[in-house]
C-alpha cells in the first residue's frame, strides 16, 4: 500500500522491501506456536519540548533558489516556519533573481514547496542569519489545465491538449493542489493560491514554475471523479485537459488510538485511479471516486500502521463515511535469556509480526542491543525458533533459550595451534521441509572463538540437525550434520582447518564442449535431491572451474545452478582431492518426466508435447501451458532469483515443487 503514495506522500517510492525467505536453502509455510513470555514493563519517556525563542527575538532567513546550471529560478514557492510555532509559517514566491527573504520570530526552518529542491529544507538559528541559504531545483515549466465534465462517462481521463467536443462542458471552481515532497510537513500552513487554486469560468487553471516531470498535482471537484495527474510531463506540452465523470463521496476522519486527529494522513481509494487526498489539521478528509470501480479505501501516515477498509457501494449510492483509527508502532527492546549476557548478538532473523504470520518488520541490532518496531496491539516478536507476544505499551520482552541445546568444540590450524582468527556459524538443517512447522523459520547464529585456545560454544539451539561452518585464517571447514538435543551440548571435538577433502571441478556445456564461466555451483548431501539445504555455494571462475575445500568426508551431489541444471554425485574422503565434471546440455530430467519445452515468439517458455501416461500427464500439465514461474515450498523461486527459478524448472519433480502456468489467460498451479 505504501508504494501507492508515490509523489503524493514522500515523492519517493517506498521500497517494496521484498524479504527473501531463504538463506542458502529452504523456506516453508509455517504456523508459529506463540508462547507468551512475562516481561518487565517500562514507562515511556516524556518527550522534551524544544525551548521557544525569547520574546522579541528576530531571525532573518534569506537566500536564493537556482537551477542546476546556476541561473536564478523565479516564481518558486518558498516557506519559512518557526521551529516552535508551525502555524506562524509564511510563504512567498522567489523574485526574478530567484531570491527570497523572511523575518521570523526565532529559529526557523525554510522549505522549498513548489519543486523538489536540493536540499529540500534548511534551518536558520539565531546568530546564523549572515549565512545565505541556497537551494537547487530541477527544470520548471508552465501548465495550462482545462477541466471538463462528461456526464455519461464511467471513469475520468487525462488527455494532452484541449479537445473540441461540444458535449464536454467546462467546470468552474474545480480545486487544484500542488503537493511536493515537503508540503505535508506543514499541514497547517495556509498557502492560498500559491500552491493551487480554482478553475475559472472556462474551466482553466494556469500555473507557473512547476516541475516539468511528474507534476505532483491533485484535482478535486464536488460530485465528480478526477483522473490522476501525478504522471504529467510538461516538456513541450503545457496544455492538458482533465475530463471528469460522475462520482460518489467518501469522507470521514483519521485518528490515532487516543482519539487525536492525524493531520497529513494519506487516504487512497482503490478505484482503478488510486484517487487520493490528505487529511486536514482536524484529521478530516473527503474524496470523490468512481463508484463502479471502488473496491477499498486505505489510510496511512508516517509512524503509523496502515488500515484498509473494503467498500462495496450499492447501485445508485451517493457515497459512504469511513473513519479510520491507526495504530502507532513503538520500539521494543528484546533480550535472549540463556545466551551470553542475555544478548541476542549473533542470532539472525528477528521480526516483529502478528500471530500466525511468519515475517514482518525486521528488528534492528547493534552490539549488545536489539529492538523491534512493533504495532501497539497484537504484536509478536519472532526469532531463533522462539516467539513472544508484546502487550500494549510494553517496551521490553524476553525470548527463552535457557532449555535449548548447544554445540561446542575447538578449531586448530595445520600445526595444531588455534588460528589467528576464528568464526563459527551454525545453520538449521532440518531433516524435512516441515520439521520446524511448530517453531517457525530459523536462520543462523554466529559466534567468535576464544582467542587463546580456539574454543567455541554456541548455545540456544533448538533440537535437531545443524550445519556448522568454521572459518579461520581464510580457510573453511563445513560439518554438514551435527545433531543437537534439548538441554544438552554436543561436542564436535578438535576440528582441523586443513582436514577434510577437496572437490575440484569444472562446469561443461555438453552440447558444445565449452567450459562455462560465472555459473553458480552448489554442494549438497546426496540425499538432498532438491538442494533444500546447500553445504556450500561457489561460482565458476573465468576458466569454468570451481573448488570446495575442507569438505567433511561424505557422499555429496554437486549442482550447476543454470538452466538446464546439471548435477553429479561425488564421494569425499579425508585428505583426498576429487575431480568432477558437471555437464549441462539436453534436459534429461524433463524428458524423463514426459514433456518437452520450447520458447514462444515473445520469449516465453511453453509446454510442448506431453507423453501419454507420463509423470507430466499425471500432474495435470497440458500442451500449450505457458510457464509463469516455479515455486518451491510455496515460494516463487523465479521471483526471488530468476536464475534459480530457471534452474529448478529443469529439475522437474520432487516434493514441494510447484509449476505455475498460464492456461488460456487463467493461472493454474500444478503440484509436481
Here the CATH number for the domain that contains residue 116 is 2.60.40.1120
CA angle centred on 601, ends 664 and 604, rounded to 5°: 60
CA neighbor of 28 nearest in space, from 401, 467, 530, 424: 530
- What HEC string does 173-233 produce? CCEEEECCCCHHHCCCCCCCCCCEEECCCCCEEEEEEEECECCCEEEEECCEECCCCCCCE
Q: Does 532 fall in a domain? A: yes
Distance CA 39, CA 381 (A): 13
Distance CA 435, CA 596 (A): 35
Q: Does 54 fall in a domain? A: no
Q: Is the pLDDT of residue 465 over 70?
A: yes
646's CB contacts (< 8 A; 6+ apart) are 562, 563, 638
Q: Where is average pLDDT lowest: 114-118, 142-146, 277-281?
A: 114-118
For residues 555 and 507, membership in a common domain is answered with: yes
- In this prediction, residues 79-108 reach a mean pLDDT of 84
For residues 417 and 554, membership in a common domain is answered with: no
For residues 201 and 68, membership in a common domain is answered with: no
Q: Is the pLDDT of residue 185 over 80?
A: no
CB-CB neighbours of 356 under 10 Å = 11
For residues 162 and 303, membership in a common domain is answered with: yes
The model's confidence at residue 13, banded by pLDDT at 50, 70 and 90, is very low
- Which pLDDT does position 35 carry in this prediction? 38
Q: Does 629 fall in a domain? A: yes
For residues 80 and 208, membership in a common domain is answered with: no
Q: Which has the higher per-residue pLDDT, 543 or 52?
A: 543
Supply φ then ψ for residue 9, to 5 degrees.
-100, -60
Q: Does 6 fall in a domain? A: no
- In this prediction, residues 254-265 reach a mean pLDDT of 91
- In this prediction, residues 273-288 reach a mean pLDDT of 88
- How high is the mean pLDDT of the chain? 77
- Which pLDDT does position 146 carry in this prediction? 92
- In this prediction, residues 319-330 reach a mean pLDDT of 88
For residues 186 and 257, membership in a common domain is answered with: yes
The model's confidence at residue 649, banded by pLDDT at 50, 70 and 90, is low
**Among residues of the chain, what percentage have pLDDT more than 70?**
76
Q: Do 349 and 22 contact (CB within 8 A), yes or no? A: no
Q: Does 459 fall in a domain? A: yes
The model's confidence at residue 187, banded by pLDDT at 50, 70 and 90, is low
Q: Does 237 fall in a domain? A: yes
For residues 296 and 374, membership in a common domain is answered with: no
Domain harbouring 621, CATH code:
2.30.42.10
Q: Is the pLDDT of residue 466 over 50?
A: yes
Provide the phi-psi class of 393: left if phi over 0, else alpha when psi is between -120 and 50, else beta.
Answer: left
CA separation, residue 371 to residues 333, 339, 345, 356 (Å)? 4, 16, 12, 21
For residues 307 and 183, membership in a common domain is answered with: yes
Q: Is the pLDDT of residue 15 over 50?
A: no
- Which pLDDT does position 323 carry in this prediction? 95
**Tens-place pLDDT, residues 588-635:** 455 566 777 776 666 667 888 888 887 778 778 888 888 776 665 445
**Among residues of the chain, what percentage have pLDDT more than 90?**
18
Q: Does 568 fall in a domain? A: yes
For residues 277 and 295, membership in a common domain is answered with: yes
Helix (H) or strand (E) holding 648: helix 642-650
Helix (H) or strand (E) holding 91: strand 90-93
For residues 87 and 132, membership in a common domain is answered with: yes
- Which pLDDT does position 364 carry in this prediction? 84
From 364, 384, 400, the end of a domain falls on 400
Q: Which has the higher per-residue pLDDT, 641 or 310?
A: 310
Q: Is the pLDDT of residue 134 over 90?
A: yes
Number of domains comprising the chain: 6
The model's confidence at residue 204, banded by pLDDT at 50, 70 and 90, is very high
Distance CA 464, CA 43 (A): 40
**Tens-place pLDDT, residues 337-348:** 888 888 888 787
- Which pLDDT does position 178 carry in this prediction? 76
- Which pLDDT does position 655 carry in this prediction? 41
For residues 169 and 246, membership in a common domain is answered with: yes
From 496, 513, 545, the end of a domain falls on 496
Parent domain of 662 = 588-671
CA separation, residue 615 to residues 434, 482, 664, 668 (Å)? 24, 36, 22, 17
- Which pLDDT does position 657 carry in this prediction? 58
From 521, 556, 584, the end of a domain falls on 584
Q: Does 649 fall in a domain? A: yes
For residues 431 and 510, membership in a common domain is answered with: no
Q: Which three cell numbers mark 197?
A: 487554486
Q: Do 78 and 65 contact (CB within 8 A), yes or no? A: yes
Q: Is the pLDDT of residue 493 over 50?
A: yes
Q: Is the pLDDT of residue 653 over 60?
A: no
Residue for cell digits 516434493? 655
Distance CA 645, CA 642 (A): 5
Amino acid at each position: 500500500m505504501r508504494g501507492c503514495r508515490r509523489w503524493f506522500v514522500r515523492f519517493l517510492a517506498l521500497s517494496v522491501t521484498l524479504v527473501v525467505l531463504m538463506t542458502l536453502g529452504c523456506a516453508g509455510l509455517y504456523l508459529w506456536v506463540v508462547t507468551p513470555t512475562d516481561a518487565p514493563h517500562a514507562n515511556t519517556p516524556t518527550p522534551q519540548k524544544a525551548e521557544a525563542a525569547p520574546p522579541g527575538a528576530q531571525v532573518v532567513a534569506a537566500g536564493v533558489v537556482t537551477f542546476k546550471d546556476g541561473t536564478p529560478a523565479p516564481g518558486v514557492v518558498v516557506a519559512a516556519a518557526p521551529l516552535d510555532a508551525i502555524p506562524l509559517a509564511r510563504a512567498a514566491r522567489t523574485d526574478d533573481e530567484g531570491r527570497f527573504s523572511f523575518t521570523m520570530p526565532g529559529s526557523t526552518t525554510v522549505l522549498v514547496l513548489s519543486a523538489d529542491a536540493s536540499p529540500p529544507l534548511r534551518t536558520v538559528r539565531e546568530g546564523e542569519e549572515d549565512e545565505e541559504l541556497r537551494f537547487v531545483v530541477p527544470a520548471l515549466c508552465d501548465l495550462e489545465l482545462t477541466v471538463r465534465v462528461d456526464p455519461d462517462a464511467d471513469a475520468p481521463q487525462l488527455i494532452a491538449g484541449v479537445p473540441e467536443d461540444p458535449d464536454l462542458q467546462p467546470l468552474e471552481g474545480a480545486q487544484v493542489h500542488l503537493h511536493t515532497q515537503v508540503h505535508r510537513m506543514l499541514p497547517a500552513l495556509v498557502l492560498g493560491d500559491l500552491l493551487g487554486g480554482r478553475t475559472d469560468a472556462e474551466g482553466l487553471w494556469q500555473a507557473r514554475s512547476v516541475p516539468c516531470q511528474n507534476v505532483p498535482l491533485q484535482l478535486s471537484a464536488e460530485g465528480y471523479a478526477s483522473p490522476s495527474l501525478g504522471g504529467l510531463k510538461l516538456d513541450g506540452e503545457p496544455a492538458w485537459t482533465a475530463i471528469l465523470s460522475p462520482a460518489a463521496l467518501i469522507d470521514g476522519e483519521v485518528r490515532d488510538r487516543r482519539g487525536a486527529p492525524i493531520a497529513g494522513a494519506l487516504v487512497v481509494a482503490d478505484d482503478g485511479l488510486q484517487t487520493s487526498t490528505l487529511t486536514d489539521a482536524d484529521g478530516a478528509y473527503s474524496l470523490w471516486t468512481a463508484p463502479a470501480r471502488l473496491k477499498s479505501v486505505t489510510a496511512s501516515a508516517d509512524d503509523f500502521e496502515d488500515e484498509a477498509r473494503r467498500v462495496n457501494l450499492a447501485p445508485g449510492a451517493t457515497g459512504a463515511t469511513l473513519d479510520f483509527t491507526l495504530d502507532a508502532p513503538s520500539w521494543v527492546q528484546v533480550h535472549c535469556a540463556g545466551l551470553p549476557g542475555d544478548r541476542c548478538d549473533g542470532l539472525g532473523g528477528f521480526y516483529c509480526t502478528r500471530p500466525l504470520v511468519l515475517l514482518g518488520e525486521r528488528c534492528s541490532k547493534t552490539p549488545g542491543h536489539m529492538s523491534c518496531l512493533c504495532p501497539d496491539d497484537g504484536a509478536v516478536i519472532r526469532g531463533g525458533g522462539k516467539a513472544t507476544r508484546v502487550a500494549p505499551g510494553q517496551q521490553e520482552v524476553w525470548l527463552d533459550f535457557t532449555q535449548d541445546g548447544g554445540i561446542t568444540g575447538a578449531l586448530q590450524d595445520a600445526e595444531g595451534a588455534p588460528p589467528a582468527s576464528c568464526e563459527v556459524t551454525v545453520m538449521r538443517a532440518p531433516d524435512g521441509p516441515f520439521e520446524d512447522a511448530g517453531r517457525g523459520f530459523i536462520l543462523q547464529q554466529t559466534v567468535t572463538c576464544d582467542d587463546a585456545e580456539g574454543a567455541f560454544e554456541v548455545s540456544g539451539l533448538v533440537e535437531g540437525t545443524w550445519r556448522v561452518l568454521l572459518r579461520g585464517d581464510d580457510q573453511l571447514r563445513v560439518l554438514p550434520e551435527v545433531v543437537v538435543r534439548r538441554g544438552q551440548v554436543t561436542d564436535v571435538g578438535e576440528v582441523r582447518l586443513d582436514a577434510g577433502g577437496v572437490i575440484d571441478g569444472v562446469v561443461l556445456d555438453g552440447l558444445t564442449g565449452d567450459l562455462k564461466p560465472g555459473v553458480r555451483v552448489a554442494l549438497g548431501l546426496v540425499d538432498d535431491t532438491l538442494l533444500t539445504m546447500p553445504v556450500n555455494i561457489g561460482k565458476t571462475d573465468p576458466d569454468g572451474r570451481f573448488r570446495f575445500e575442507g569438505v567433511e568426508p561424505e557422499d555429496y551431489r554437486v549442482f550447476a545452478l543454470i538452466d538446464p541444471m546439471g548435477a553429479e554425485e561425488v564421494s569425499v574422503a579425508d585428505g583426498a582431492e576429487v575431480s568432477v565434471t558437471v555437464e549441462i546440455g539436453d534436459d534429461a530430467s524433463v524428458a524423463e518426466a514426459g514433456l518437452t519445452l520450447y520458447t514462444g515468439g515473445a520469449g516465453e517458455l511453453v509446454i510442448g508435447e506431453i507423453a501419454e501416461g507420463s509423470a507430466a500427464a499425471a500432474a495435470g500439465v497440458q500442451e500449450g501451458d505457458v510457464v509463469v514461474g516455479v515455486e518451491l515450498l510455496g515460494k516463487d523461486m523465479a521471483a526471488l532469483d530468476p536464475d534459480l527459478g530457471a534452474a529448478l524448472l529443469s529439475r522437474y519433480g520432487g516434493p514441494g515443487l510447484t509449476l505455475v502456468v498460464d492456461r488460456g489467460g487463467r493461472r493454474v498451479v500444478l503440484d509436481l
